[in-house]
Chains A and B, each alone.
Chain A
Amino acid sequence: MAMPAAEIAALIKAALPDAEVEIEALVDDGDHYRARVVSAAFTGRNRVQQHKMVYEALGGRMGGELHALQLVTAVPN
């Protein structure tokens, strides 16, 4: 039930190719991460919509295979 950080980043970048993705492990168990995702695709979307786009990129793993992903989204400056 663990997922390496690189796999999470790859899934996000597959759905949001321009995204800058930083992932940091909160606990070293392959299951608790913090991610910051910056993408122009978030422009004009509210936070809930932005987070949903990332969850969609993870294809249903969020809340299942991946227990905890603390998420911050932003548009590029």
Chain B
Amino acid sequence: MSDTNERLSQIVSNNDVVLFMKGTPLFPQCGFSSRAVAILDHCGVAYESVDVLQDMDIRQGIKAFSDWPTIPQLYVKGEFVGGSDIMMEMYQAGELQQLLDEQQVAKAE
């Protein structure tokens, strides 16, 4: 489990914006993950995605790592931001765009 934590630490510190999700941005396997992808696409931000369905250690480990029971989960600059409900609320309030601007993360190409 500590190996998994180490891997997760590296993933969230090596990538400015990381979405842990079920499936891939092109083929999300869950409505909530699909919504999270749509929000990030609307924000026009470059992000890394991790398909938790491909790795059981990551799938279980990320829940303990973030102390958050569900997938998807968004990290920006190593900080846990929230799941898809929080992403949606922040997006609608303009707060997600603001956070991404403040953190000066790369735009999508």
- Are A and B associated in one complex? yes
**Interface residues in chain A, defined as those with a beta carbon under 8 Å from any beta carbon in chain B:** 47-48, 51-52, 55, 60, 62-64, 68, 70-72
Q: A63-B63, A72-B89 are known contacts. Are A47 and B82 too (CB-CB below 8 A)?
A: yes
* Nearest CB in chain B to that of A63: its residue: B69
Q: Are A62 and B80 closer than 8 Å at their CB atoms?
A: no
- Chain B residues closer than 8 Å to A63, beta-carbon distance: 63, 69-70
How far is A62 from B83 in the complex, measured between Cα atoms in Å?
Answer: 13
Most B Cβ at <10 Å: residue of A47, A62, A63, A71: A47
A70 touches B85 (CB 8 A): yes
Q: Which applies to chain A's interface (DSSP): helix, strand, loop or mixed?
A: mixed
From B67, B85, B89, contact of A52 by CB (8 A): B67
Contacts of A71 in B (CB 8 A): 85
Apart from A52-B68, A71-B85, list 8 A-B contacts with CB within 8 A: A48-B82, A51-B86, A55-B69, A63-B63, A63-B70, A64-B69, A70-B85, A72-B85
Interface size bucket, B side? 10 to 19
In the A-B complex, the 9 residue pairs with the closest CB atoms:
A63-B69, A62-B69, A63-B70, A47-B86, A71-B85, A48-B82, A55-B69, A70-B85, A47-B82
CA–CA, A40 to B13, complex, Å? 35
Which A residue's beta carbon lies closest to that of B31? A68
Pairwise interchain contact A48-B80, C-beta atoms closer than 8 A: yes
Judge whether A48 and B63 touch: CB under 8 Å: no
Which A residue's beta carbon lies closest to that of B30? A68
- B32 part of interface (Cβ distance < 8 Å): yes
A53 CB to nearest chain B CB (Å): 12
Closest to B90 in A: A47
| Min CB–CB distance A24 → chain B (angstroms) | 14
Smallest distance from the beta carbon of A59 to chain B beta carbons, Å? 11
